[in-house]
Structure 1
């Protein structure tokens, strides 16, 4: 039981202190090293630009409550009360097409999704 309680505390600490998006190999990545994308299409992402369910295929890069903006990385309030990371005002998304850190399979997808290269 003590091991379970210790693990719960460790997980809670990890979740509340997620890392700010940072550079890796010239592109912005999340706290797990996964590539972040910006949508450059007209209007919000739609089924055509996402090849299906946008919310599932390109979920928002959510910020934790303790996260704070830094330079060009800002936080955007979402309708559900959470915050999404943004770079120079463009919301950031994770691409579920990527399976491991360093993957960039969403870059250029439908001429609407691009890696963020500060």
Structure 2
């Protein structure tokens, strides 16, 4: 059973990686694709450069743009891993293979380096010194 679950997650990630998408949109308070699948940023990326490759892309498939897509506003496109990948404020966007349906946010906070983009920033309490 464990092998079939792993295979299903891998197959889903390959499906997402191969699906070119239109510009991201805010949906239910987070940035998502047009179908409502949550997209994430990776803290280890640089502005305009993806640092996720190989095994990383199996778990975090790139959010790839449709051919001829044009970016507007804070959204952009970069050439990464052989595809045109969507960015927000220069940071590349990804899916999480552990999300199985629209609205899932299972990757948020993963490893302390993967995050959703929310429309309302969360206030971080200041430490008292």
Q: TM-score range by the shorter chain?
A: 0.7 to 0.9
* Inter-partner Cα distance in structure 2 for 1:19 and 1:45: 21
1:60 pairs, out of 34, 39, 62, with 62
CA RMSD of aligned residues (A): 2.2
Point out 4+ residue stretches in structure 1 off by more than 2 angstroms. Answer: 41-47
The count of residues paired between Structure 1 and Structure 2 equals 97
Q: Aligned partners of 2:53, 2:69: CA distance in 1, in Å?
A: 28
Which residue is 1:85 aligned to?
A: 86
TM-score of the superposition, structure 2-length normalised? Answer: 0.67
1:39-73 deviation line (CA, Å, top 9, x unaligned): 013772479xxxxx211110110001121101001
Check whether the contact 2:53–2:81 (CA below 8 A) recurs between aligned residues: no
Measured in 2, the distance between the counterparts of 1:73 and 1:34 equals 17
Gaps of 5+ in 1: 1-14, 48-52
* Equivalent position of 1:102 in the other structure: 103
Question: Structure 1 residues 108 and 34, CA, compared in 2 at 3 Å: closer, same or farther?
Answer: same
